[in-house]
Structure 1
Amino acid sequence: MKGLNNQPFGLLVIFVILNGTVARQVQINGNITEKIGTNGTMLTCNLTLDHGDHLISVWMLATNMTLRDFENVAYFDPDFGSKLKPYGTVLFGNASLSSVNKSSKSVSLSFDDLNCKHSRLYKYKLLVKTVDYPNIITESEAIGISIQVPPSKPDSVSLFHTPADVSVSSTSNIDYSSASPSTVVTSTENETVSASETGKQNTASVSNNFKIPTPGPNTTSSLLQEDISTSFRTTTYYIPKSTTAQGIVEGDNITVVCTGDVGNPKGIHFFQKYRNGKIVHMHEKVYATLKSEVYKNCSFYQTSILTFKITAADNNVVIRCAVNSSMAEPDMYVETEPIEVFYPVRMPTIISYQNKTDYVLGEDTSIHLACKSDGNPKPSYFWYTENPKQQVSSFENFTLTNLNVTNSGTYTCKVNNTFHGDTYQKATFVNIKIINTEEKLSIGMMDAKNTLHVHGVCIL
C-alpha cells in the first residue's frame, strides 16, 4: 500500500533537532491490516516532549480522497478534552478517545466495525509551545489501514458456445448461479472491452453482453460525505452467445464465463473439468479477466473467461469455477450441469471371443462376435453377411450357432448414429472360415510338410 505522492507507508519519526540533540518525537503505530468487521481497531500516538515544551493539543488526521489531502478527524486537548470532529464522526461514528493532560505520553482512538471507509491514511499532529516559540507543530508519518474481505462463492458460471457449423445456431445460453449473489450491480455508463487470445484459443462472434462494476471517478463531495458515497462506472463485456438448439457438438467452441466477488486481497477465479467427481486435466487457460473494485465492501468483483474447443472426451464433464484466495472456503465454487457432447460414431472393432478365424465342425459349436464402437447418441449396430447379402442381427453382439461350412464368409458390422438431422456411419468386417475335421487334418499335414521343408528335410 502506498500513501500520497506515491510514498510507501512506514513508521517515520519526525525529529526536531535542537543544539544537535534529538528532541520531541511523534510516533504512530504501524500499518494495520484487519478483516472487515473487526472490533477494537486502535490508532495510537506516542509522544516525547522536549525540555521546556508545553503541550497544547494533539490532532488526528485522515485522508479525504476527494480533496486529496488530510483532514482533521479528532483532537485531544488538556483543557477542553478529547472530541471527534465532524469528519471523524462520518468515519467512525462512536469512537473511543483517550483523555490527555499536560504530561501525557500517548493518545489513542479506537473504533469498532472496521469497514471500507476506514481504508485510508492516518497521522497525528502535535502542537506545543515554548518560552521562545508560541506554536511548534510536529507530525508523525502517515500509516494506512488495509481491509481484508473474504471472497464469496461465484455468483454464476455461464456456458456459451459457437457451433463449428455456423449454419446451425440459436440465441440461448445456460446459466448456473449460486444461491445468493454477492453483489448487486447497477449501470450508469457503458464501456466496450475486447479480449483476444493467441495460439490455440478461439474467440467467437459477438452477440451477448453482461455488466460488471468498475470504480468510477464520479463521486459526490462534501465535508461529511466526500468519497464515502458509492459510485460505479459499469463495464460492458461482449461475450459470444450462439448455441445449437439440438446441443453441443464435437468441434464447437465453448466459452465459460464466471462472475463473483473474489475478496480483498484480490483472489482469482480458476476453472476445472470434472467427470464422475474426478478432475480431468485440461490445458486451456483463462484468457481474459476483468476486475473492478466494489467500494461498498472494499472487495473486488471479477469476471473470468475460459475458452476451448470441445472434444468427445468432454462428454459428461462439468466445468467448475472456484475462487483461489488465502481466505476462501473449500466450497466456494459453482459448476455447470454435465455437458452432453454429440459426436459421430467411431470406426468399430470386431472381437472374436474365441480369438480365431478358423472354426472346426464338431469342435466349435458356436461363434461369438462383438462389435465395439463409440459415439453420442449411442451407436446402432447392424450385422450383415455377404453371401447371401442380408442383415442377420441388429445387436452389438452376434452369435452363430448350428455351425455349417456354408456359414463361412465375410461378416460386416455397420454402426451409425444421428444428430442435427445427419446420420454418421462406419463399418468393418471379419472373415470367418468353418471347416470339417478332414479338412483340418489335411491342413495340419500340409503345415507339417511345409515346416519340415523349411528345415531341409524332404518327405516322399
Structure 2
Amino acid sequence: MESSSEDDLESPVEGGALVQGQDVWYVTYSSTEICAVKGSTVEIKCSYTYPSTWRGRVNTIQKTFWFTEQKDGEPVDLTTDSEYAGRVEDLCENNICTLRIRNLRESDSAEYKFRIKTSQASRWGYPVTLSVTDLQVEVSRSGSSTLLQCLSSCPPGHTSYIWFKNGQKVKEDTSPNADFRYDPADSYSCALKGYEDFPSPSVYPPKLPSVSVSPPAEIEEGSSVTLTCSSDANPAANYTWYKTEQNSQLSFVKEGPRLVLSSFQVSDSGRYFCRAENLLGSRRSESISIDVKYAPKPPSVSVSPSAEIEEGSSVTLTCSSDANPAANYTWYKKNGNADLSSVSEGPRIFLSSIQSSDSGQYFCRAENLLGSRRSESIFIDATYAPKLPSVSVSPSAEIEEGSSVTLTCSSDANPAANYTWYKTEQNSQLSFVKEGPRLVLSSFQVSDSGRYFCRAENLLGSRRSESIFIDVKYAPKPPSVSVSPSAEIEEGSSVTLTCSSDANPAANYTWYKEDGNADLSSVSEGPRLFLSSIQSSDSGQYYCRAENLLGSRRSESIFIDATYSPKLPSVSASPSAEIEEGSSVTLTCSSDANPAANYTWYKEDEDSPKASGQIFTITDFRAEHSGSYSCGAQNKLGRSNSTLTLIVVAGSSTTIVNIIRTTLGVLILISVFLLSLWMRKKKALRSTTEAPEPEEIELDSDPEYENVSHTAAQTEDTEEQEDMV
C-alpha cells in the first residue's frame, strides 16, 4: 500500500472490489501481472465504481489516469511523461479504462497504478506489474550442431515459439529449444507466436571486425595510442589482439576490444589485427600498421670491403639509422683542427680509386623532421707505399767543421715507413750509414761530406729520396807546394810552383818570397806561380798562403835553387898587383856559380896549373914571378876565366905607387858611396877598379908559391877580362 495525503484504496484479495465502510470504491483489473514483448503493444484494462456521495456530499468524477511515479508527492499522469510521449493512450468509457502502450521498451517495465479523482476524494489502487521482455537466443555448440534456446526475462505464458533462419521461418514449437546444424553463414532468431513481427535479435558469427586508432594523427615516440576493435556479432564477440612480427610469426598481445599502447616505443611499431569470436564463429580484422614517428637513432656505419684498404682500390661506406620517417643522410669528413667538410649526400659514399688524401675521419648525419643524430667517426685508412721521401737539413745554414748536423727523412706512407740512410762514396759505391728517420752527424768532419739519401720502405713498397749534398765548410788545411819540373832547375828554364789546400769554400792563394832577414815580399796571387826564364836572382825561399772566410794557413817554405855555370870570376891581388920584390902576394878568385865553382890557377905560357883553390899565395915574390895569372872557375854546368897581371917593383917607387893607388881607392870609395845614396833600392854595390898598366917586376930565380884553400867570400869584378885560351 502506498501512502498518500488521502486514504488509500484497499484491494480485497479476490474480485478486485475496494470497500471502505458502506461506501464502495470498486476497481477490477483484467490482469495484475502482464509479460509483454519488447517492441510490441500492450493494453492494461480496468473497470471502476465509486460512491455517488461521499461523506454526505455529492461525489462526481473529475479525472482518471495511469501513473508509475510521483513528483513532489503527486502522481504523474503517464500521458504527460516525456518517456512515453507518442507511445501511450489512456482510453476511458463507461467506467472502463484502457492504458495502451506501443513500441514497448524494456524501460517500460514497471508497476502501473490507476487513479480516480472525484470532487470529494482521490483514490488509487494496487499496481499492475508490466514486464517487458527482450527475446534472446542463447547459443550452445555441440560438434557440428548448434543448440539454440529462445529466452525471455518473463514467462510469456502458454505460447508457441517461431524460429527463423536467415529471416525465414523454419520451425514452430512449444519448446523454446531448437537444434540446428551449424553453418557460419547462417543467422537465427526466434519470436513468440502472435508476435512474429517482434522477433529476437538474430544470432550470428562476427562480421569483419574494424579497427580504429586514436589519436588518428601521426604517433610520436613516447606518446600513447589506443586501438579499438569492433565487430557486428550476436552473441557479442570476444576480442583478441595479435601482432605480426618481422618473421611473420603471430604474437598474442592482449584480450579485449581495446588495446592501449602507452609510452609508445619503436619496438611497438608493427602490424596489428584483432580477432572477434563468439560461439557461432570467429573473424579477424585487416592488419593495421602502427607506425610510430621518431627521430633517427644513432646511425651505424659499415665499410665494404672491411679488409685493409690499399691506395687505388675502391671502398663503400654505408650509413644506416632507424628513423621514421626515413632519414636523409649527409656525409662529412673531419679535416685538421676539427674543421668539417660535407663530402656527399645519401646513405652511401663511394670512394673510387682511393688516394692517401682520402684518408681521414668520416661520419654521417641522419636527419628527419623530428631530429637528427650523427654516427661515430670511422677512420678510413688507405694503405700505400711510401711517396717520394724528402730530406731536411738542420741547421740549414752553412755547416762548419766540428759542428753538428741533423738530416731528417720523411715520407707519406701507410703503414708508416722504416727509414735507412746511405752515403754515395767517391767510387759511386753505396755505403750503409744508419737506420731511422734521423741521421745525426755530430762533430762533422771533412770526411763526412758527401751525397746522402734515405730509403723509405713499408710492406707495400719502397722509395728513395733525391740525394742531398752535405758540404762542410772549413778553413784551409796546411797547404802543400809542388814544383814542376821537379828536377834540378837551370838558369833560363821555367818552373811552376803549385799550391793546394783542402778548404771549403775553396781557398784563395798568395805567394810570398822570403828575402834576407826574414823580409817578405808578395810575388803573386793564385794557386800557381810561374817563373819563366829563371835567374839566379829568383832563387830563394817561397811559400804560399791559402785563405777563405773561415781562416788561413801557410805552407812550408820551399827553396827554389837555380843552377848556373860560373859567372866571370873576379880576381884580386893583396896587397896589390905591384909587388915589392921579396914580399908576399895573395891572389883571390871568386865567381857566382851554382853549384859552387872549383878554382884552378894558371900562369901564362905554362900548361900545368900553379895551384887549385880560391886563394893563391906567392911568398918571397921575385921578378920571375911577374906575369899574367888566370883563374878558372868551373862547375858541372860550365867554366869561366879571369886574368890578373903581377909585376915586381923597387921599394921606393913601390911606396909612391901604393900612395897613389891608395888615394885613387879612397876617391873611388867616395864616388861609390855617393852613387849608393842615389840608388837606394839597389842592394848590391859594384866597385870599379882600373887595372894598372902591367909593369915588369923582377922575380927571384926560385920563387916559392903557396896554395891557399877556397874561401866562401866572393868578389864581383867590375871589368870584363879575357878568358884564358
Q: TM-score, with normalisation over the residues of structure 1?
A: 0.39
Question: Higher RCO, 1 or 2 (CA under 8 Å, sep at least 6)?
Answer: 1
Q: Name which one, 1 or 2, has greater alpha-carbon Rg.
A: 2
Q: TM-score, with normalisation over the residues of structure 2?
A: 0.26
